[in-house]
A and B are shown apart, each in its own frame.
Chain A
């Protein structure tokens, strides 16, 4: 049972990874990152129930990650809006100042 949950989390993680690496729109990259974070949460809660030492710590940990992820999305969208205002585009491949 545990391995099913873990496999499910792995699938979500890899789908999110592909989206984060490939999509051009920055908001969609953010969405993919959220997907990856969610898969981590699933892992944590699954281990809290079926893990080696079952305890509530997994669920509390996942609460914290949810909060931090929410904060991160907020700041990320704010940055994107600011960038869009100065650049006029929200495509990640146009933000390549880190070339050298």
Chain B
């Protein structure tokens, strides 16, 4: 089938880019219309990407186009875009969530002085993320990868006058940089080993699809390094520390960047370069175990946090761990399916949290309560999101999580056990969050009011998507087309009945426990805290990872920095000052020669004469 819209897919990032440029130039005076322009830009890209997706769903061919950008020696750097099923899907996810966040932010950021700057940054981010998604070679993806990181930095530190925001932005950038170094080295290795230095994904799939072209050792190394980049961007252990701190940014961007899109870039990268991973079982194992560990690690921290956004941040880390686990088990389908559904319900949860924060002006869940009575829409949509996250059927999260767990049970039962345990914790912390915020008696002073329509309509849209998005891939006969369409493999179909039962039971158990503790009070809230205070403290302090990093890296690097600074100031600066001082000293000494005494001047003349005469008379010696 011919492609009508796919050839214009390159326009999809251009609309938000245009919005960015307009806002950059004229934003200061356009506090009312600026946001509208940005939203229109993202709407345009949403419409176009939806058209492309529909075309691709109809079975259109893949499309690729590009041009040569730079020629260095024998190597040509091309810039191009790929329209495949995977990229079309991602485009729609990114632009849809971006559009909804734009609409939401019109209400949320209404009173902010720098609202145009905010929308400009969001537009730039949208452009970068869309560019990342449709990039057709790894170098171009890397460029957009870095751009996305930059936008994240700008937006986390948007309220730059808050020192915590500044610190969080720096932390995010530096920690993801650590991962990006791995990505860059992998890029260089690929450049070295790929024939013709071709870094396009088609070439990668080609080369790594044939065995023996590149040795397994190198393949594993490249895969692990790419995964390192994904670990940084997607907040996996040990580079997860920046994501909770990134909650210092405004809540809409927590929803957009740190829930739905940018953090999914890591998963997307692994999916795009999956042929490399498929060629190296060791790398796949690493990915799976790191993902699984992160899932349960982050979930355990989440149940001890008090900040509503931090709970959701750790939840994101945990769910990304699930996606990585799915990739490590070899199923791109399951991972992308979960990414797809997670984008919707996590964005929903964050925007709902933003609505709550907007109403009660606090982020501590212990200061909230009973908001279900006053904020009905928020409460209902939040409940839908929470249930989806906990994996309760028939919501979308149930189907996607089950796809992952079924793969795990099939290949690595140990990973299945970890996944189930993490699911229990997930249900527990979400129910704790929900009951503490929305149930119970309202506290005085924090009664809250419902948010304006511009904020609640996106919530409703996302809630609807959170409900129906899962039906695209159900493990029953004849109902799963998503997997086939996306990657050619359906998600696992065997053993799914057991998985469905166990996961549902675990989810309901978690919710029940939460209800018992926080609503009924049958189990006292400090049951664990009283008996094992060390455990509570450990979880609350996030296993002291931040403190460990500070002691190991920050302190030593700062000491090195101070040493270099001292060297610079005293040795290098001292040398410079010495040179200057020598010139001044010479000048002062020379000034004493001009004392107005005739005989001094005469003496200098005689000395000159002597030197000259000696030079001429001594000619025979040289």
Contacts and interface: CB of A to CB of B under 8 A. Distances in A.
Interface in B589-622: 594-599, 601-603, 606
Contacts of A21: 599, 602-603, 606
Interface in A15-52: 17, 20-22, 29
Contacts of A100: 594, 596
Contact of A97 (B594, B596, B601): B596
Chain A interface main SS type: helix
B599 A96 contact: no
B599 A93 contact: yes
B595 A99 contact: yes
B597 A96 contact: yes
B594 A99 contact: yes
Interface in A45-67: none
A34 to B, nearest CB: 16
Given A20-B602, A21-B603, A93 B597 contact: yes
B617 to A, nearest CB: 13
Q: Which of A21, A97, A100 has the most CB of B within 10 A?
A: A21
A65 B102 CA distance: 104
A96 B595 contact: yes
Contacts of B597: 92-93, 96
B195 to A, nearest CB: 78
Contacts of A29: 599
A98 interface: yes
Contacts of B595: 96, 99
Nearest to A20: B602
A93 B599 CA distance: 8
A24 to B, nearest CB: 9
Nearest to B605: A21
A22 B598 CA distance: 10
Given A99-B594, A100-B594, A17 B599 contact: no
Q: Which of B598, B601, B603, B606 has the most CB of A within 10 A?
A: B598
Nearest to B602: A21
Interface residues of A, number: 13
A96 B596 contact: yes
Contacts of A96: 595-598
Contacts of A99: 594-596
A97 B598 CA distance: 10
Contact of B596 (A17, A20, A22, A98): A98
A95 B598 CA distance: 8
A97 B595 CA distance: 9
Given A22-B599, A92-B599, A17 B594 contact: no
A93 B596 CA distance: 8
B598 to A, nearest CB: 6
A20 B597 CA distance: 13
A17 B606 contact: yes
Interface in B555-606: 594-599, 601-603, 606
Nearest to A23: B599
Interface string A77-97: 000000000000000110111
A18 B42 CA distance: 95
B596 A92 contact: no
Interface in B449-503: none
A31 to B, nearest CB: 14
Q: Which of A22, A29, A93, A100 has the most CB of B within 10 A?
A: A93
B612 to A, nearest CB: 15
Contacts of A17: 606
Contacts of B602: 20-21
Contacts of B599: 20-22, 29, 92-93
B605 to A, nearest CB: 9
A28 B112 CA distance: 91
Contacts of B598: 92, 95-96, 98
A93 B601 CA distance: 12
A92 B599 CA distance: 8
B444 to A, nearest CB: 85
B606 to A, nearest CB: 6
A30 B172 CA distance: 86
Nearest to B601: A98
A92 B603 CA distance: 14
Nearest to B594: A99
A92 B606 CA distance: 18
Interface string B290-301: 000000000000
Contacts of B596: 96-100
B572 to A, nearest CB: 37
Contacts of A97: 596
A66 B601 CA distance: 26
A92 B595 CA distance: 12
A68 B126 CA distance: 98
Contacts of B603: 21
B594 to A, nearest CB: 6
Interface string B81-96: 0000000000000000
A96 B595 CA distance: 7
A20 B594 CA distance: 19
Nearest to B598: A92
A61 B598 CA distance: 29
Contacts of A22: 599
A96 B601 CA distance: 11
A62 to B, nearest CB: 23
Nearest to B599: A21
A98 B594 CA distance: 9
Contacts of A98: 596, 598, 601
Interface string B67-104: 00000000000000000000000000000000000000
Nearest to A99: B596
A98 B599 CA distance: 12
Nearest to A26: B598
Nearest to A18: B606
A6 B164 CA distance: 92
Nearest to A14: B606
Nearest to B609: A17
Given A20-B602, A93-B599, 12 more contacts: A17-B606, A21-B606, A29-B599, A92-B599, A93-B597, A96-B595, A96-B596, A97-B596, A98-B598, A99-B594, A100-B594, A100-B596
9 contacts: A21-B603, A92-B598, A92-B599, A95-B598, A96-B595, A96-B596, A98-B598, A98-B601, A100-B594
5 tightest CB-CB pairs across the interface, nearest first?
A96-B596, A99-B596, A98-B596, A21-B599, A21-B603
